Amino acid sequence: MEPLKEIEKTIEGLKSPVSVVSKILKTSAFQYFFNKIAQSGFLLFAAAVIAFIWSNVDSEGYRHFWHQEFVIGMPGFALKHSLVHWVNEALMTIFFLTVGLEIKREMLVGGLSDPKRAAMPIAAAVGGMVVPALIYAVFNFGTDSTSGWGIPMATDIAFSLAVLSTLGNRVPFGLRLFLTAFAIADDLGAILVIALFYTPSIDLFYLGVAGVVCVCLYILNRFWVLNILPYCLLGLLLWFAVAHAGLHATIAGVIVAMFIPAVGKYDTDLFIDMVKNRLAKISCSDGDCGSSIMINQRHLRAVQEIELACTQVATPLQRMEHNLSSWVGFLVLPLFALANAGVVLGSIDISVALLHPVTLGVTFGLALGKPIGIFFCTYAVTRLLKTDLIHGVNWQHIFGASCLGGIGFTMSLFISGLSFEVPAYLEYAKIGIILGSVICGIMGYLVLLDSARKRKK
């Protein structure tokens, strides 16, 4: 009976607020999200290196592979696009769905639920977008490459969290929350920029269809439909409508995330009562149950009912976020890097590329504009709202995180592809993204490492 007593003791302990907080901090959805995205950052880096090598060893083979057409559908209705298009427009929608789920959870019960606390990462994101865009505009003023002003605005959440994860417990938990929050807000800002400034035309019919789908999603949410399947089906329809409306298809992922229910069928108190009642049904006269599940139907039913209760108490938002994190981290993001990070050095003059306004604008926009914009806007909002930093975080931590915010990749490559029709400019932009990101990654790591050493003294 000892295992049963241990389980009952654990359930009783959940009623203690201190126990609840400690367990949440150890196994929270945020921590799971952070760990998965951080781990995927290393895989993302490896994929980017492979893409760079592949594109230079066999540039024609690299281009041909990712631009061959791939058809999804059936006779009479089929979608025909290149492989790189499917990766960028379809798979990355799943990434932004995960990002949207994390934002919603944090806004409801996490670090962004307090308006004053949320103001800091939002201000950081705004500053980290405006200043780099201005720096790029200065370098490219009056040229035919001014359309790339949005490239250095984005922070790559996977790469930045991967660098931060290498420091482990030497940086406070609050810094992870801050960096994650402003990186997510930054990505959403980049999506908004794409929708407003990099959309050549809007199809009002499909935009109307997208609006109708959003109304249907709202109705599902209001009527507490907790089954994920209807949301997924409407999400596919929304993705199709948004793409044909002329907007970036990944916007559909963020929109769907906002309608995923954040409540379960059972509340925690009811769940605890149900589990205790089912545990009471599992008893053995000799005190040693052994493999009773195989021979005792009463025990089996009790265990199955406990399993069902676990499913019913978890919210659809948490279940979806948990299930998607591994797919996004270990498949979607590496595929994106593999398809987009190739830079064919043999086709360009390196000396010209390094001094070109596009390269300089992107490099300095990331390496200089992002840290300055993020840090000073965070400082300004804390003084304006008279808000303290998250417990355990100091201003050196914020500056280190601001530097990590200059690591741009995913959304920067997205916007690069939308900005230029001249192939050489796209290659220059990729070089600038790599240079700026490497500089910021090293700077951020060294600043935070120095902070950790000071903390030990």
Give phi and psi for 145, each to the nearest 5. -115, 15
Give the per-residue pLDDT at 2.
Answer: 47
CB atoms under 10 Å from CB of 455, counted, come to 14
**Collapsed DSSP state (helix, strand, coil) of residue 209:** helix
Contacts of 387 (CB under 8 A, 6+ apart): 116, 117, 119, 120, 381
What is the residue type of 53?
A: I
Spatial neighbors of 394 by CB under 8 A, at least 6 apart, are 451
Question: For residues 270 and 264, what is the distance between their CA atoms, to the nearest angstrom?
Answer: 11
pLDDT at 457: 60
The residue behind tokens 């196994």 is 27
* pLDDT in the model for residue 15: 42
Rounded distance between C-alpha atoms, residue 24 and residue 44, angstroms:
28
The CB-side HSE value for 103 (13 A sphere, CA atoms) comes to: 24
Instruction: State whether the Cα torsion 168-173-177-178 is positive or negative.
Output: negative
What pLDDT shows up at residue 111? 61
Q: Which residues of the chain have pLDDT under 70?
A: 1-40, 73-78, 110-113, 116, 266, 285-287, 290, 295, 456-457
Mean pLDDT estimate for the chain = 81
Q: Is 378 exposed, middle or buried (0-12, 13-18, 19+ CB in 10 A)?
A: buried
Residues 205-241 as b/e (b if ≥16 CB within 10 A, e otherwise) read ebeebbeebbebbeebbeeebbebeebeebbebbbbb
pLDDT in tens, 395-410: 999 999 999 999 988 7
Reported as a single tens digit per residue, the pLDDT across 191-206 is 788 777 877 777 888 8
So what's the pLDDT on residue 35? 66
Chain position carrying tokens 């006779």: 75
350: tokens are 């390196």
Q: Is 224 left (phi over 0), alpha (psi -120 to 50) or beta?
A: left
Measure the CA–CA gap between 155 and 166, rounded to whole angstroms.
18
The angle formed by the CA atoms of residues 345, 409 and 420, to the nearest 5 degrees, is 60
Q: How far apart are CA 281 and CA 30, in angstroms?
A: 35
Rounded to whole angstroms, the Cα distance separating 357 from 418 reads: 18
pLDDT at 31: 64
Residue 369 three-state SS: helix
Please provide the CATH number assigned to the domain covering 2-198+248-264+314-456: 1.20.1530.10
Model confidence pLDDT, tens digit, residues 313-347? 778 887 888 788 778 878 888 888 888 777 777 77
